[in-house]
């Protein structure tokens, strides 16, 4: 449960949520995102945890086993494969962004943010991402550290770290919200986050909100299924899923409350893209009392939050290599990490040497991000819902969920059978201009 929480709470909440909220108009986007978490995310998370605990194997082998148990076609194993591939692709760019955070640990510790203007902070960030050698070095450091933890397993590696790191990150975000409260633009930031201006929201924005609900909860990428396979029988799937979703959503909203007041107080644009937190929070750290200490601590915890999520992204592939190829955990970790590192070079170059090379109007990084977050994860979630709701035998799902109340089980079944599939399909068609 701790590992799954660490998987959900990461860069998606603190790095990605604020900048995509800024790009899609604020409050209306947040409202759609929260609806997607409640009506689509939590039911699918329950389904994915349930499938993992029932199969007790890697996502590929779990889906093959469960399809056989249900008397269905073995083609369902490719749902497991799609999750593994999606997680692998996401980690290839996730590691590069986490490398930015790692670099900022040392920048914060050196006191470089003290007294800097918004333009000065912006120049520091641009200097970092325009240097491919620096980005490659930080990407390498992060991937090596990730594979070291993966090689030790979930219990001895990730779980011990998450016990301390997640509460610390939450407390530090509260400190940042306290600073934002006195920034002079807190009410403007709150209005931006919670004023529902639907004129600023497009069909593409709705797709991004749904995709981010899957991204931030780690759904459809095999991670939650793997952690479900490690979950003890007596632990409630429903309570675990709702607890993870609530913690994840709280961190995302706190990040928004910490960042947007500083954005407006500094005269920055909320829709300034992936570099948003690296251009805003250092301004606060440079001006607040004890900013060097808090800035260093914040980016250390951000790196660890990214670390916990990165481990969950690669774990499905590692688990499959151990089961299917008979590799040791260490060897499987090394091979998985090397392949991911190589693909990550494309993201490194997307911010400098390849910045002008576009595929369908997107850089390599933007294309991988779009395909995974907006296509593969929602599609994976849709298929998980269809399998759990229509293919898996009802007595098996009822036994695994162990909700107790027949009414609550029927509500979950209704959501995964009808609400979730229809919602995902309608958003897909709308975004493609077909609905």
Let me know the angle formed at the C-alpha of 373 by 36 and 401, rounded to the nearest 5 degrees: 50
- Site of tokens 């689509």: 40
Domain boundaries, the chain: 2-431
SS3 state at 359: strand
CA distance 259 to 16: 12
CATH of 2-431, one of 2.30.30, 2.40.330, 2.60.40, 1.10.4160: 1.10.4160
Is the distance from CB of 12 to CB of 244 less than 8 angstroms? no
CB atoms within 10 A of CB 145: 18
3-state DSSP assignment of residue 278:
helix
Instruction: Please report the pLDDT score of residue 173 as a whole number.
Output: 86
- End-to-end CA, the chain: 39
Tokens in use for 352? 């400098």
Instruction: Report the alpha-carbon distance of residue 221 to residue 85 in Å, rounded.
Output: 7
Quote the DSSP letter at residue 271: T
- Give the integer Cα–Cα distance in Å for 101 and 344: 16
| In contact, 233 and 53? CB cutoff 8 Å | yes
Compute the C-alpha angle 164/158/290, nearest 5°: 35
Distance CA 328, CA 182 (A): 53
Nearest to 15 by CA among 261, 315, 281: 281
- What b/e sequence results for 228-247 when a residue is b if at least 16 CB atoms lie within 10 Å of its CB, and e otherwise? bbbbeeeebbbebbeebbeb
How far is C-alpha 156 from the geometric centre of its chain's CA atoms? 23
CB atoms inside a 10 Å sphere around CB 289: 7
Q: What is the CA radius of gyration of the chain?
A: 21
Contact predicate 285/69, CB 8 Å = no
How many Cβ atoms are within 10 Å of 83's Cβ, its own excluded? Answer: 32
What pLDDT, on the 0 to 100 scale, is given for residue 2? 67
Helix (H, G, I), strand (E, B) or coil at 362: strand
Rounded distance between C-alpha atoms, residue 51 and residue 62, angstroms: 7
Is 193:253 a contact under the CB 8 Å cutoff? yes
Handedness of CA 138, 144, 147, 149 (dihedral sign): negative
Residue 175, pLDDT score: 86
Contact 307, 145 (CB under 8 A): yes
Across the 435 residues of the chain, what is the mean pLDDT of every consecutive 10-residue run?
Answer: 71 90 93 93 95 92 94 92 92 95 95 91 94 97 90 63 72 86 90 91 88 89 86 87 91 92 87 88 86 88 83 85 88 94 97 93 94 90 94 92 84 93 82 63
* Residue-level pLDDT at 159: 59
Q: How far is CA 286 from CA 209, 258, 281, 295, in A?
A: 32, 15, 9, 8
| Cβ atoms 403, 409 nearer than 8 A | yes
Q: What is the DSSP string of 146-207?
A: HHHHHTT-IIIIIIHHHHHHHHHHHHHHHHHHHHHHTSS-HHHHHHHHH---GGG--HHHHH
Which residues are CB-neighbours of 319 under 8 A, at least 6 positions away? 57, 58, 59, 226, 229
Q: What pLDDT does 265 receive? A: 87
The CA distance from 192 to 21, in Å, is 9
d(C-alpha 29, C-alpha 21), whole Å: 6
Cα dihedral sign, 380-385-386-392: positive
What pLDDT shows up at residue 36? Answer: 93
């Amino acid at each position: 449960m701790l590992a799954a929480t660490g998987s959900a709470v990461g860069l998606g909440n603190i790095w990605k949520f604020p900048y995509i909220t800024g790009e899609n108009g604020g409050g209306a986007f947040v409202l759609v995102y929260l609806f997607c978490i409640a009506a689509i995310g939590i039911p699918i998370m329950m389904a994915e945890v349930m499938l993992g605990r029932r199969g007790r194997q890697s996502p590929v082998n779990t889906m093959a086993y469960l399809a056989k148990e249900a008397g269905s076609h073995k083609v369902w194993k490719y749902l497991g494969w799609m999750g593994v591939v999606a997680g692998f692709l996401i980690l290839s760019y996730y590691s590069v962004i986490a490398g930015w955070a790692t670099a900022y640990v040392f920048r914060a510790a050196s006191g470089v943010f003290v007294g800097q203007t918004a333009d000065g902070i912006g120049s520091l960030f641009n200097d970092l991402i325009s240097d491919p050698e620096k980005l490659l070095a930080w990407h390498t450091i992060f991937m090596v550290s990730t594979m070291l933890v993966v090689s030790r397993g979930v219990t001895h590696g990730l779980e011990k770290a998450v016990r301390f790191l997640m509460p610390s990150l939450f407390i530090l975000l509260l400190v940042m919200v306290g600073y934002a409260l006195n920034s002079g633009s807190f009410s403007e930031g709150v209005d931006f986050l919670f004023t529902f201006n639907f004129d600023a929201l497009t069909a593409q924005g709705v797709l991004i909100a749904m995709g981010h609900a899957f991204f931030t909860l780690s759904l459809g990428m095999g991670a939650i299924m793997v952690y479900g396979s490690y979950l003890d029988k007596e632990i409630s799937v429903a309570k675990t899923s709702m607890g993870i979703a609530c913690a994840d959503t709280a961190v995302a909203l706190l990040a928004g409350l910490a960042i947007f007041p500083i954005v407006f107080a500094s005269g920055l644009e909320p829709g300034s893209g992936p570099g948003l937190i690296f251009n805003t929070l250092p301004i606060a750290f440079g001006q607040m009392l004890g900013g060097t200490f808090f800035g260093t601590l914040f980016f250390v915890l951000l790196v660890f939050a990214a670390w916990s999520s990165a481990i969950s992204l690669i774990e499905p592939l590692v688990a499959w290599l151990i089961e299917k190829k008979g590799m040791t955990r260490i060897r499987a970790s090394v091979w998985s990490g090397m392949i991911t590192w190589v693909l990550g070079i494309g993201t490194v170059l997307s911010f400098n040497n390849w910045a002008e090379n576009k595929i369908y109007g997107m850089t390599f990084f933007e294309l991988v991000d779009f395909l995974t977050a907006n296509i593969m994860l929602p599609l994976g979630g849709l298929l998980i819902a269809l399998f759990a709701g229509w293919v898996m035998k009802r007595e098996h799902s009822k036994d695994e969920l162990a909700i107790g109340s027949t009414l609550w089980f029927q509500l979950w079944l209704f959501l995964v059978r009808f609400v979730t599939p229809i919602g995902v399909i309608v958003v897909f068609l709308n975004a493609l201009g077909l609905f």
